[in-house]
Amino acid sequence: MKALISRSKISGKTEAPSSKSYTLRGLMCAALAKGPSQIVRPLDADDTVAAREVLGKIGVGIKNDNGSWIVNGGNFHQPDSDLYCHDSAGTLRFMMALCAAVPGTCKLTAGPSLARRPLGPLADALRQLGIDCATGDGKAPVIIKGGQLQGGKVELPGNISSQFVSALMFIAPLATDGMNIELTSQLESKPYILMTRDCMHAFGIEVGHNLDFTRLNIHHQAYKPAKYIVEGDWSSASYLLALGAIAGETEVTNLNPKSRQADSEIWILLNRMGAHMKAGHGAITMSQSKLHAFRADLSDCIDLLPTLAALAAVAKGVSEFTGIIRARLKESDRVAAMKEGMQRMGIKIKEEPDRLLITGGAPHGAVIDSKGDHRIAMAFSMLGILAGDTVIEGAECVNKTFPAYWDILRSLGGDVTLDG
């Protein structure tokens, strides 16, 4: 599907969708708790559908109840077919760990994009714990023979994916001897580990750790059923806020200003760029502003790279982004994808392995290949609103985390036509 975008003036109020990261974490914890839990205001998108499907195949009952999900967990059984995780990296990586608690054999498979992404460090960690885990050269498919989890000490790097660490945290309380998780390199994306810890706490689990989270100590405990309320998603909200800053005015509700989410950093970074904003009562209003270039280390909020790169394209001066190397291992190589699209729109950009330099200017319309990456599609839609005459190819990829995106963009005044 293509999104045809004409130059538009943006104005209006909208609600941020619920957090994908918190919805996935809530599902995993509820699945591990024996009895019924309630997840309130969950995100219903491709990634969370994938999680619901695979959890259902191992014996977790999930049903809709007036906008909430009732999750009956704690009784796993061997699935009678492959656990297809679509292109949800969180689902695949979290389920690799959960399958260690499933009696019998589980085979986890993935969509074409996810099948290219690394799993080796997590598979190695599971093997250290005595779990029979086989991968296809460090990638999906993954075959795990689960059952009794003994636990003990396990080491893994902290600078590849925080999801690997979160996956081990989820199953650590199930281990007979508990689990001591030691990171062999500095932890990146620390906010996501804090999110996992907080979600586990909501389900009755205590997580011990040192100051920099390079050592975690989790003793044997039982998950307890809970009512879990999912807050708004700052990652998805970043596009709506940025649109207001460059193309009119937006008021975005359903946002927690004290959120643990790494991408809540967006409103601080917008402020550093000179954006005019007002905040209060769970809402942020962003007004069109003359933005100036800035520097930022994105190690802890790597998913903001596409949003910030699009903002830098219209900011005065040269912006510099570092700590971006892990953006190359997402749904696409986001550094390369942003460079390709920016060049098509006439923006000067310099790419290095772990650094991006963008000289602000006046982007013109172009045909943009989204690479099947939801964040690339939404980032370039912002520039399309400014420049007009823009086509986003593979526009349906926003369904991964933000299915209503194109409808919301139109409700805010965006001239968008979907073709196909």
Catalytic residues: 303
87: three-class secondary structure by DSSP: coil
DSSP state of 313: T
Alpha-carbon span 234 to 248, nearest angstrom: 20
- Tokens 């800035």 sit at which residue? 294
Alpha-carbon span 307 to 305, nearest angstrom: 6
At 418, which helix (H) or strand (E)?
strand 415-419
> What is the bridge-based pairing of β-strands 2-6 and 10-15?
unpaired
3-state SS of 6-35? ECCCEEEEEECCECHHHHHHHHHHHHHCCE
Alpha-carbon span 259 to 15, nearest angstrom: 16
198: three-class secondary structure by DSSP: helix
Alpha-carbon span 235 to 323, nearest angstrom: 18
51: three-class secondary structure by DSSP: helix
Alpha-carbon span 67 to 61, nearest angstrom: 16
Tokens of 48: 């969370």
